[in-house]
A and B are shown apart, each in its own frame.
Chain A
Amino acid sequence: MTFPGSLDDRDALRAVRLAGAEPVPLWHGEKWLSDVVAVVLPGGFSYGDYLRAGAIARFSPAMQSVIDGAKNGMPVLGICNGFQVLCEAHLLPGALIRNDHRKFVCRDQRLRIENAETAWTNQYEAGQEIVVPLKNGEGGYVADPATLDALEADGRVVARYLGDNPNGSYRAIAGITNEAGNVVGLMPHPEHAVEELTGPSTDGLAFFTSVLQKLVGIPA
């Protein structure tokens, strides 16, 4: 899905292609999702992130269809800005705020996959450590304690930062899922870890093969 100001949309298309699926570019202004079976909301600075990251993008015509689809079980992955959009759209709880050190940060980040059963993580092992790029200015995950406790208790924390907390996220949360496990929001960028040549690893590819496994049962 491309919003005005999306940046990692081409990378998401490439990752889907490398995972063996056919990527379809979607435009935020088109209400109909044609016949796509899963949606990736990519990283970027939709609408410049001027108000709050993701705050304006969620009102796009296409987002209404994504929200309906997500409620009906369609897999949706929000990466970075996409995660922010999902929170703003209330498909996921909590919010993402300015990094605690107030700087943009780009680095190769170690993560632990905590939940390997979602539509987007079933090709990982629970507890598996991976390295993917992280790059954000507003990546601090926050929510009230009750929400955080509930996320932990339900196993809805999908990935956690290892090593130094890069942005002040509560409980080092890097990604979460909804109750049904079809909607995942993730601050780091698995789509930038799909090729030996351009990424720090190829650890990110399994997010995209996971959804294929989920949809058509073909392990890539």
Chain B
Amino acid sequence: MTPSSAAQRSLIDTVKAAKKSSDAQQPYRELGLADNEYARIKEILGRRPTSSELAMYSVMWSEHCSYKSSKVHLKQFGDKVPVEAKDILLVGMGENAGVVDIGDGWAVTFKIESHNHPSYVEPHQGAATGVGGIVRDILTMGARPVAVMDSLRFGPANAPDTARVLPGVVSGVGGYGNCLGLPNIGGEVAFDSTYLGNPLVNALCVGVLRTDEIKLAKADGPGSKVVLFGARTGGDGIGGASVLASASFEAQGKTKRPAVQVGDPFAEKVLIECCLEIFAADLVTGIQDLGAAGLSCATTELAAAGTGGMAVDLDLAPLRDETLVPEEILMSESQERMMAVVTPKNLSAFMAICEKWDVTATVIGEVNDSGRLTMRWHGEKIVDVPPRTLAHEGPVYQRPIRRPYDQDALNGDHGNGLPRPKTGEKLRSTALKLIASPNLADKSWITDQYDRYVLGNTVLAQPEDAGMVRVTDERWRAEHDGEDSTLGLALATDGNGRYTRLDPYAGAQLALAEAYRNVATTGARPLAVTNCLNFGSPEDPAVMWQFSEAVRGIADGCQQLGIPVTGGNVSFYNQTGTSPILPTPVLGVLGLIDDVTRRTPMAFDQDGHQLYLLGDTRDEFGGSEWAYVMHGFLGGKPPAVDLDREKLLADVLINASRDGLVDAAHDLSDGGLFVALAESCLRGTTGVRVIVPDDVDPFVFLFSESAGRAIVAVPRTEEVRFTDMCTARRLPATRIGVLDVLESAIEVQGQFRLPLAELRTAWASTLPDLFG
């Protein structure tokens, strides 16, 4: 024993000592626990907690891990599960990630998670470890991760700090995902001043597994071994979970240790392959990744979900830094670690696979039926707790809710006085300015840093409306003469902070509707939802109102659309000082397509195809890109939500894809019709000639953000069938023009003509000019 650890030993707080000195002062407030919470811990234990127990309760009862402010609201996702979706849910909310049945013995698991605060402190590592964390969640379900996506928000594109944060975040997302060999198939990037001191980095991962291979986080069977494997435990991110997530990031910046974790994507890649080999050999009874709250979380959750008891010898945990004390080991957020429960019979096979992959694996404890989680350190008992009280029975708060004082004023000011472009020339310059604005400009400066090809199953990737990957594997090919499957899954993420600020209920539904529409546009049928709820402080009643309205909107919306929420993540305390970010629920929708060769891409490639606009266009500019870019204005109401119309539109798009009636489709969202036309032309090879319908104002026609719309390119030979289908289903379909290979421009007849070369320059140069 080294002298320093001998010295530490005398400082170890044991259960025995805690029993003797129940009134000793403890720094529970500094650890983020409230007076009443500390009192409850004492009541549960019948004594004061040891310092190790205190560390565990503080991280497990933090906002981030316990969902104490959001739980009462999130319950709605379960209560309102649409009936038609109940039987596809193999694993619902509450596990590491939800699992849905996609037929043919396949299942899909997917989830989105935030890593906002760490990405502000150290953009590259923060974003990288965000990707690493969500990938481990998916892996934990027993799935092979098959793709990632990233939804990003930054301060103004030209702000100096954005030049620090954005390139770092992008290299972190790319560096980690690329190194894992996971294609990045989509995401979002948006800029707004409220994100300047608080960027949002939300990462999504999707994995595929067989329905009979689902793994759960539970420690079952007395006598089974608890194995910690992967990276060694170091001092990184100590206190990260509780401190970063339960107090505003600014306030504690100086007093606490920097909670920076450095990711090792190579270690994670090896860990993934190692786990998949272990799963294939069916060697674990339970498994859990180590994320926020590290060992505290893994041990308590496994124990709570299983037989109920576990004994751990903390001395056995392999350390990177031998000076760590038990409290630190329990709170460390070192990356690339997993914990498995393995029967004694399977242990040697398990260890052999770890050895093959050069993964450190150590038995640190055993499952028992004592109903207690106990831990020893240097021979002394330092933890003795009922695990459920940490994992499931944390505090639950009904936080005060109040509609923001300025909400009425905000909604009442519709910006009716904002000057609108009236002439063709003015419309043209508006169009150019919008397409070059950072929110609408080409994102390839970012997405070219992401590998979209690896694994060889990417059918669609950014900038398509949804990413799409083929679902196939060696087992399928072995059963089907070496042919790959044609089954595919599609994914899109969307969020709109401005709409949500104007009306959180409608704004959240608009984000849901857009992701749903994006998936359907590619020809896939929407199936399930994940969400990442990025909000300010839950202690601010105005923020809590935004939150509760948004959750209600999502729950109602999912019920109406018939797609269940399978999981997600809540990120509170996104604020600078007391100014919260725009409320930003990000919705991820998963869809399914039987035959990936039938997918509908967005590019305009076919000369002479007829261009149809589906849906209704109204004068809706509340929260629009136009108001933001041209006037810096936010007010009024967001576009109206009509989820029945969204369902109808989706049905038409899916049928059109299946029956081969359309060759290209693109949904309408930020920036309206003009932006969609520009994106489809620039992605493809043709221009378009567009006619403004007689009774419509050209400005509204081109830039309104009415929801429930898409454009499609229909071959002349299919025109009658297509319009008949729309008529029969009562979906408005207006012919608005034709694709023209010779034109090489967007020509809005009677208004203006914009050559594609000029458009491309404006669109493509914005981000490179800003970020190099």
Chain A residues at the B interface, C-beta cutoff of 8 Å: 4-8, 10-11, 14, 17, 29, 43-45, 47-50, 103-107, 133, 135, 137, 189, 191-192, 195, 197-199
Contacts and interface: CB of A to CB of B under 8 A. Distances in A.
Contacts of B101: none
A80 B171 CA distance: 19
B358 interface: yes
Given A4-B357, A44-B181, A198-B470, A104 B171 contact: yes
A15 B455 CA distance: 12
B175 interface: yes
Contacts of A197: 459, 470, 596-597
Given A4-B357, A5-B266, A197-B597, A106 B456 contact: no
A107 B179 CA distance: 17
A220 B273 CA distance: 34
Interface string B437-462: 00000000001111111111111000
A177 to B, nearest CB: 24
B643 interface: no
B454 A4 contact: no
A189 B453 contact: yes
Interface of B: 171, 174-175, 178-181, 264-267, 269-270, 273, 356-358, 447-459, 470, 482, 596-597
Contacts of A43: 454
Q: Can you list the 6 inter-chain pairs with the closest CB atoms, starting with the nearest?
A: A48-B266, A7-B181, A11-B456, A192-B453, A45-B179, A104-B449
A103 B449 contact: yes
Given A48-B264, A103-B171, A197-B596, A8 B470 contact: no
Contact of B456 (A14, A47, A103): A14
Given A197-B459, A197-B470, A47 B452 contact: no
B725 to A, nearest CB: 26
Contacts of A195: 456
B175 A104 contact: yes
B178 A104 contact: yes
Contacts of B597: 197
26 contacts: A4-B270, A4-B357, A4-B358, A5-B266, A6-B181, A7-B178, A7-B180, A7-B269, A7-B454, A11-B453, A11-B456, A17-B482, A44-B181, A45-B265, A45-B269, A103-B448, A103-B449, A106-B448, A106-B449, A106-B451, A107-B448, A192-B453, A192-B456, A195-B456, A197-B596, A198-B458
A8 B65 CA distance: 36
A81 B731 CA distance: 51
A106 to B, nearest CB: 5
B456 A10 contact: yes
B455 A11 contact: yes
Contacts of B482: 17
A6 B450 CA distance: 17
A20 B754 CA distance: 48
Nearest to A44: B181
| Best-surrounded residue of B175, B265, B447, B454 (most CB of chain A within 10 A) | B454
A107 B450 CA distance: 9
Contact of A106 (B269, B356, B450, B459): B450
Given A135-B453, A198-B459, A199-B453, A50 B266 contact: yes
A6 B181 CA distance: 8
B455 A10 contact: yes
A7 B482 CA distance: 21
| Best-surrounded residue of A8, A49, A106, A107 (most CB of chain B within 10 A) | A106
Contacts of A198: 453, 456-459, 470
B449 A105 contact: yes
A188 to B, nearest CB: 11
A176 to B, nearest CB: 23
B468 to A, nearest CB: 10
Contacts of B459: 197-198
Contacts of A192: 453-454, 456
A106 B447 CA distance: 8
Contacts of A199: 453
Contacts of A48: 179, 264-267, 269
Nearest to A45: B179
B451 A5 contact: no
B459 to A, nearest CB: 6
A10 B453 CA distance: 12
Nearest to A12: B456
A13 to B, nearest CB: 9
